[in-house]
Amino acid sequence: MQAIVLAAGEGTRMRPLSASCPKPMLPVAEEPLVAHTARAAVEAGADELVLVVGYEADTVREYFGAEYAGIPVKYSVQEEQRGTADAVRAAREHIDGPFAVLNGDNLYDTAAVKRLLSNGPGVGTYHVEDPSNYGVISTDGPRATGIVEKPDDPPTNLANTGAYVFPEEARDWLDVGESERGEFEITDVVERVIEEYDVTAVEVERWLDVGRPWELLEANEWKLDELERDVRGDVSERATLDGNVVVEEGATVKSGVVIEGPALIRSGASVGPNAYIRGATLVDENAKVGHSVEVKNSVLSPGATVGHLSYVGDSVLGRDVNFGAGTNVANLRHDGESVKHTVKGDRVSTGRRKFGVVVGDDVKTGINTSLYPGVSLSEGSMTHPNEEVSRDK
Ligand code: TTP
């Protein structure tokens, strides 16, 4: 079965991380976010991938090429992000038989995708405590009987996960009308399929919709947790690696370093001497963690450097960021409240007691910069020596 993966979005809620890297291409363990979705589809039995691309499309194309995980990859371009039905419509020329659709910024457990792909028309659902902020699927036994967006009075606790299997005929049902929010929505197609076919509601055991920066951390926590210890790089005899630590070939871990897994140190990265890495941490290609630096539960994108005497906790650092010596991240509020973060102009709770900072590509901090919990630094910005950053820059 073909799997259409929607990856045309910028990810505006992920700014500044998505300023030059489309959200689907942000790093999650050893692959970009969308590659985990694609891999789940392949492992579930998809025999062809159709990637719908748009924003920074070339980055996606370069990564996947013409074949991925042993199956062919085709591309469709959605020029403007006009909704999920519009995205699938962009791929219509490639549809040939029943087809699966997956959100390219969602992580799914592979077993559930497999059940979905082997059951005829279906929709993936996930049990949530408060469904009022989701599309909600109503059911009758194993059958889906309806879908309603963000209801005041949800019929079930089953959130729509954006994973579907459609009959071939649905190719002709993609020209839906514009919704109230001015988009062409795949949920309208799902409704039609529910009217005309038996649609199975397939419960997904684990699901993560990655929209905001702390969800990128959660995605990394999930995928780093699945790592198995594998040490191939140049690791000093005087370094200590505990638990599931992966050090790729071409990475260097120097004397006095302690790494508590899960952690992934990618090719070209360098850690130490005397550094401490713990929690689910990704040190991506050519990133650097220097002397007396502690990094906890964080993502250092390719080329990010934290050179000396710093603490980075529960944070995401973009590409080629450079933290001056003594830059420290506060990741906990002393009033015990969850850390807040600004998403598209609104202050929202991250729901996390521990959350550090979100740093756009090419940011440089001056020595002894102090960063407050939840602040974000826009791409290319700089701080002065001794600066205290309590608001977004
Ligand atoms: P969204 O999360 O709604 O959009 P987004 O990824 O651009 O993020 P943001 O809201 O922060 O700007 O999209 C869900 C999925 O569908 C995601 O994988 C992107 C994809 N998509 C498209 O490919 N084309 C579209 O027109 C829309 C609306 C979404």
pLDDT attached to residue 64: 98
From the alpha carbon of 34, which atom of ligand 1 is closest? 18
- Evaluate whether residue 220 is within a structural domain: no
Total-model pTM: 0.96
Same domain, 196 and 330: no
Please state the domain count of the chain.
Answer: 2
Using the mean position of ligand 1's atoms as its centre, give its distance from the Cα of residue 103 in Å: 8
For residue 41, the domain's CATH number is 3.90.550.10
Packed helices 33-43 and 57-64: angle between N→C axes, nearest 10 degrees: 50
| Alpha carbons 246 and 280: distance in angstroms, whole number | 11
pLDDT attached to residue 253: 98
Is residue 335 predicted with pLDDT exceeding 90? yes
For residue 266, the domain's CATH number is 2.160.10.10
pLDDT attached to residue 118: 94
Domain boundary among 211, 239, 256: 211
- Evaluate whether residue 219 is within a structural domain: no
Domain boundary among 211, 244, 273: 211
Same domain, 183 and 144: yes
pLDDT attached to residue 317: 98
Residue 273, preceding peptide bond in cis (omega within 30° of 0): yes
Q: Pick the residue whose CA is nearest to atom 23 on ligand 1.
A: 8
From the alpha carbon of 14, which atom of ligand 1 is closest? 11
Same domain, 204 and 238: no
The tens digit of pLDDT for each residue in 260-289 reads: 999 999 999 999 999 999 999 999 999 999
Q: Which domain holds residue 141?
A: 2-211
Q: 3-state SS of the chain?
A: CEEEEEECCCCHHHCCCCCCCCHHHCEECCEEHHHHHHHHHHHCCCCEEEEEEECEHHHHHHHHCCEECCEEEEEEECCCCCCHHHHHHHCHHHCCCCEEEEECCEEECHHHHHHHHCCCCEEEEEECCCHHHCEEEEEECCEEEEEEECCCCCCCCEEEEEEEEECHHHHHHCCCCCCCCCCCCHHHHHHHHHHHCCCEEEECCCEEECCCHHHHHHHHHHHHHCCCCEECCEECCCCEEECCEEECCCCEECCCCEEECCEEECCCCEECCCCEEECCEEECCCCEEEECCEEECCEECCCCEEEECCEEECCEECCCCEECCCCEECCECCCCCCCEEEECCEEEECCCCECCCEECCCCEECCCCEECCCCEECCCCECCCCCEECCCC
**Residue list, ligand 1 pocket, CB within 6 Å:** 6-14, 23, 52, 78, 81-84, 86-87, 103-105, 211
From the alpha carbon of 104, which atom of ligand 1 is closest? 18
Using the mean position of ligand 1's atoms as its centre, give its distance from the Cα of residue 249 in Å: 35
- Evaluate whether residue 108 is within a structural domain: yes
pLDDT attached to residue 20: 87
Same domain, 30 and 163: yes
Please, which pLDDT band fits residue 251 given cuts at 50, 70 and 90? very high
The tens digit of pLDDT for each residue in 187-236 reads: 999 999 999 999 999 999 999 999 999 999 999 999 999 999 999 999 99
The arithmetic mean of pLDDT across residues 22-43, rounded, is 97
Q: Return the best residue to mutate from 5, 28, 78, 84 for the ligand 1 pocket (most ligand atoms within 8 A of CB).
A: 84
Q: Which residues are catalytic?
A: 308
Same domain, 176 and 248: no
pLDDT attached to residue 267: 98
Domain boundary among 211, 239, 261: 211
Same domain, 356 and 253: yes
- Evaluate whether residue 221 is within a structural domain: no
ipTM: 0.94
Percentage of the chain surpassing pLDDT 70?
A: 100
CB atoms within 10 A of CB 84: 26
Q: Pick the residue whose CA is nearest to atom 2 on ligand 1.
A: 211
| Alpha carbons 341 and 244: distance in angstroms, whole number | 31
Q: Pick the residue whose CA is nearest to atom 13 on ligand 1.
A: 9
Q: Pick the residue whose CA is nearest to atom 19 on ligand 1.
A: 9
Do 245 and 225 contact (CB within 8 A), yes or no?
A: no
The tens digit of pLDDT for each residue in 40-88 reads: 999 999 999 999 999 999 999 999 999 999 999 999 999 999 999 999 9
pLDDT attached to residue 220: 98
Lowest mean pLDDT among 9-13, 87-91, 308-312, 366-370: 9-13
Same domain, 239 and 139: no
- Evaluate whether residue 340 is within a structural domain: yes
- Evaluate whether residue 216 is within a structural domain: no
Mean pLDDT of the chain: 97
| Alpha carbons 272 and 236: distance in angstroms, whole number | 10
Using the mean position of ligand 1's atoms as its centre, give its distance from the Cα of residue 344 in Å: 15
Same domain, 9 and 53: yes
pLDDT attached to residue 10: 85
pLDDT attached to residue 336: 87
Using the mean position of ligand 1's atoms as its centre, give its distance from the Cα of residue 326 in Å: 38
Same domain, 207 and 233: no
Q: Return the best residue to mutate from 4, 6, 10 for the ligand 1 pocket (most ligand atoms within 8 A of CB).
A: 6
Same domain, 193 and 87: yes
Q: Pick the residue whose CA is nearest to atom 7 on ligand 1.
A: 9
- Evaluate whether residue 370 is within a structural domain: yes
Same domain, 68 and 170: yes
Spell 148-176 as b/e; 16+ CB within 10 A means b. beebeebebebbbbbbbbbbeebbebbeb
Using the mean position of ligand 1's atoms as its centre, give its distance from the Cα of residue 160 in Å: 15
Using the mean position of ligand 1's atoms as its centre, give its distance from the Cα of residue 327 in Å: 34
| Alpha carbons 192 and 200: distance in angstroms, whole number | 14
The arithmetic mean of pLDDT across residues 124-143, rounded, is 95
Same domain, 180 and 232: no
Q: Sort 273 into a burial class: Cβ within 10 Å, 0-12 / 13-18 / 19+.
A: middle
pLDDT attached to residue 65: 98
- Evaluate whether residue 8 is within a structural domain: yes
Q: What angle do CA 336, 341, 346 make, to 5 degrees?
A: 125
From the alpha carbon of 103, which atom of ligand 1 is closest? 18
Q: Pick the residue whose CA is nearest to atom 22 on ligand 1.
A: 8
